[in-house]
Structure 1
Amino acid sequence: LTVKGKKRVYTGIPLWMVIAMVDGPDDKHPYRFDKTLWDRGYDVTITAADGYTVTFNTKEVAYDSLILAYTEDGKPVKGVPPLRIVGETSKKLWVKNPVEIELDISKKVEKEVFYFELVINGKVHKFTLKELENSPFYVELPGRYVTSAGSVRGGVYGGVKLVDLINQYTSLSAEDTLKAIAMDGYEMTYSGKQILDQKDGYWILAFKKDGEYLPLDPGYIRIIKVGESNPMIEGHLSVRMVKRVEVVKKKYENITLEIKGYMDFTLDRQTLESGISCHGVEVEYKGHVYKGIPLWRLLAYSDDPKYAPHKQDPSIKSYNEELALKGYKVRVIAEDGYSITLDSRDLNKEDGVIIAMYRDGELIEDEGPLVLVWDRSLKIEGIKKVKNVVKIELIF
């Protein structure tokens, strides 16, 4: 940042992280920052040790434009407390040695009512949590899910049976496709057959756990399977912060991708969707926008003889960058046998080479369901477009 004509380097934490401690109901770490509230606008008053104060409305300032700095050019900030609020804003908002930050939320913002949306054939049906709780389809039963790190989470969940809620408006069939969309943009699709399978329990829209309402994060609504047998599902199927569920009268098509190396895996559609929701990258290729997961992230499934990605201790890195930099071959194979061979050193942490599942916002059908494309500004030896990718081999 420029201060009186000189460049200064500040180290600190984003101001929004501090504000997150008091802008919502969270009373312990991790605190969730309410960006929606910030964008709607409320007053923030910052007071310095010398009594100087400044007030701004959040609606007029980018949430990530200010930091609470504790060093300047590598040295502690002068004064007591040794802090300074700086950022890419008007210098009027810069405050030396702040001692108090006050948020005037209650007077400026009315509490927003949460609505869950069920979309069937394009028609939107909205429900408050109270309406869902008063539904005849409300149940309280145990359920569990296993996280990507292998931890099992569970409890007695209260919510409405998803099938029964849908069947008020249409008859859910095994051929249908359901898409769950979370408030943070995460998406997951389910087959009608999967949701209709009630041998070990019911898929529900849960908004209570052990008698308590779920907080905004990981609530207000979580999809989970519950039943007397305490069923357990994969964590990526238990979508949290669900805002809407769409029922699409279109056959659910499974997608699989084999990955072979030190370990062998077959990834299904839902695993791929979860990866794209978390690590998705868009690439423009010959007039179309493709979206998928970077190829280097998929290598993590098979680049270690002992540890699969995520299914391990958090201290162990899921991707073996050291091995990738030493160099091994990566063969990308299509269903018809066509293949290309790439070098792991060229792919190392390169987000511009992806296995795409979407083109212009839709599932790829004519050349898919999976396609290798890349940012054509990259110079990668041997790379070519691969349609209908079915297998990735790591050759050591």
Structure 2
Amino acid sequence: MQRKRISLVVITIMMLSLLAVAIQPLAVCAGDALAIEVVSGSDSVKLTKAALLKMKTVTGNAGLIRSTGTLRGPYDYKAVTVSDLLAEVGGLGQGQGIQITASDGYTMTFSNSQVNGNVLTYDEAGKVLRIGDVSMALIFESEILGEDTLPRLAYIKEGANPITDGHWWVKSVAKIEVVDDVEDWVIPLEGLEKAEFDRATFESIATCPDTPHPTIEWETTDKQGNKEVYEGVALWVMVSMMDGGDSPQGHYRFNDDLARKGYKVEVVSVDGYSVELESMLIMRNKNIILAYKKNGEFLKESDGPLMLAGDDLPSRKFMVKQIAKIRLVDLP
């Protein structure tokens, strides 16, 4: 009996030792989780929280406004400005922007102007204040924001509590990369409601991993038989911004009842060329998309910023390029 007890004690000690060894690497992983990579061409640097703490840090509060108009925050923060992070790899030059990649693969591209703080700010009632007068920063400490969202991008201003659009607040940033600058654009929507969406909003919809309407790929061939892969968002998603289906509790809610009554979606190019699609054809149809990428690259100026694409278009004549406006016509 005594031998059995000794054996059990030995086995228990061995198991505890193995458990301690297994747990030790987890602590290292937890520390590494906050490391971010900053890249510019062949130059790159990985910055841990310890490295960020050695840089010039700023503290304060900032908030965000969702596309539904709901305000969130203010959130406390300790942060490093993105300009200081980019200085580690040579800074940001003219004609350059940045691409942010989150740990879950979500990406967003910021123009040179946006990196330099030229974005809309709002007051506590959600009304537009001005453009600019804020700095892009990376929050790495906060008592309110969950640790699982850090490091997190935001726009800040020392001594103030700026409020900016929520789609800028990229969570769990893993990589900041200097890329060629991108041109910002805005496409107006006219239907039961008037709205608009810009490049950042569209990219946010297209790349968010938690969205109920993820990026859609459409594969086709050109006249020479070469494979082409277009990426984008279903047309119905953007139609939902102007068809009266949205509610204070959510957005991108398509109005099925209105679609069944019948109307047409007019897609207009910058040169005035337009096509019309029946509401029942586009209703929750994943095979008619607004494409923004072709073969992994943003559309060229001759095609973009957006292009109508997909298997369910009546013909290739409906592949409108350089989309400038989308309207609902012949409404019931």
Normalized against structure 2, the TM-score is what? 0.78
Q: Name the CA distance, whole Å, in 1 between partners of 2:176 and 2:137.
A: 12
Paired residue for 1:336, among 232, 246, 271? 271
Report the counterpart of residue 11 of structure 2 in structure 1.
Answer: none
CA contact (8 A) 2:293 2:299 kept: yes
**CA pair 109-379 structure 1, distance change in 2 beyond 3 A:** farther
Residues 1:200 and 2:136 aligned together: no
Report the counterpart of residue 303 of structure 1 in structure 2.
Answer: 243
Offset of residue 350 of structure 1: 0.7
Offset of residue 316 of structure 1: 8.0
- Which ranges in structure 2 are unaligned for 5 or more consecutive residues? 1-18, 119-131, 209-213, 222-226
Q: Name the CA distance, whole Å, in 2 between partners of 1:238 and 1:229.
A: 17
Report the counterpart of residue 9 of structure 2 in structure 1.
Answer: none
Within 5 Å, give how 1:304-319 maps onto structure 2. 304=244, 309=246, 312-314=247-249, 318-319=253-254
CA contact (8 A) 2:304 2:323 kept: yes
Q: What letter corresponds to residue 267 of structure 1 in structure 2?
A: F
Q: Name the CA distance, whole Å, in 2 between partners of 1:361 and 1:160.
A: 31
Report the counterpart of residue 178 of structure 2 in structure 1.
Answer: 247
Report the counterpart of residue 147 of structure 1 in structure 2.
Answer: 66
Which structure dedicates a bigger proportion of its chain to helix?
Answer: 2
Tell me whether 290-299 or 221-230 shows the greater mean CA deviation: 221-230
Q: Name the CA distance, whole Å, in 1 between partners of 2:260 and 2:187.
A: 24
Q: What letter corresponds to residue 187 of structure 1 in structure 2?
A: T
Q: Name the CA distance, whole Å, in 1 between partners of 2:328 and 2:90.
A: 46
CA contact (8 A) 2:241 2:252 kept: no
Residues 1:290 and 2:230 aligned together: yes
Offset of residue 106 of structure 1: 7.5
Report the counterpart of residue 304 of structure 2 in structure 1.
Answer: 368
Q: State the identity as a percent.
A: 28
Q: Secondary structure of 2:254's partner? A: coil
Greater length-normalized contact order (CA 8 Å, ≥ 6 residues apart): 2
Normalized against structure 1, the TM-score is what? 0.66
Q: What letter corresponds to residue 305 of structure 2 in structure 1?
A: P
Paired residue for 1:107, among 15, 19, 22? 22
Q: Name the CA distance, whole Å, in 1 between partners of 2:103 and 2:111.
A: 21
Q: Name the CA distance, whole Å, in 1 between partners of 2:99 and 2:237.
A: 24
Number of residue pairs matched by the alignment = 281
Q: Secondary structure of 1:357's partner? A: strand
- Which ranges in structure 1 are unaligned for 5 or more consecutive residues? 1-103
Paired residue for 1:124, among 17, 35, 44? 44
**CA pair 315-144 structure 1, distance change in 2 beyond 3 A:** closer
Offset of residue 348 of structure 1: 0.8
Within 5 Å, give how 1:1-396 maps onto structure 2. 107=22, 110-111=25-26, 112=29, 113-114=32-33, 115-135=35-55, 137-149=56-68, 150-173=70-93, 175-197=95-117, 200-210=133-143, 214-216=146-148, 218-219=149-150, 221-227=151-157, 228-248=159-179, 250-278=180-208, 279-286=214-221, 287-304=227-244, 309=246, 312-314=247-249, 318-365=253-300, 366-375=302-311, 378=312, 380=314, 384-395=318-329, 396=331
**CA pair 315-233 structure 1, distance change in 2 beyond 3 A:** closer
Provide Cα deviations, 1:333-358, integer angstroms capped at 9, x if missing partner.
11111111111101111111100000
**CA pair 343-383 structure 1, distance change in 2 beyond 3 A:** farther
Q: Name the CA distance, whole Å, in 1 between partners of 2:87 and 2:235.
A: 40
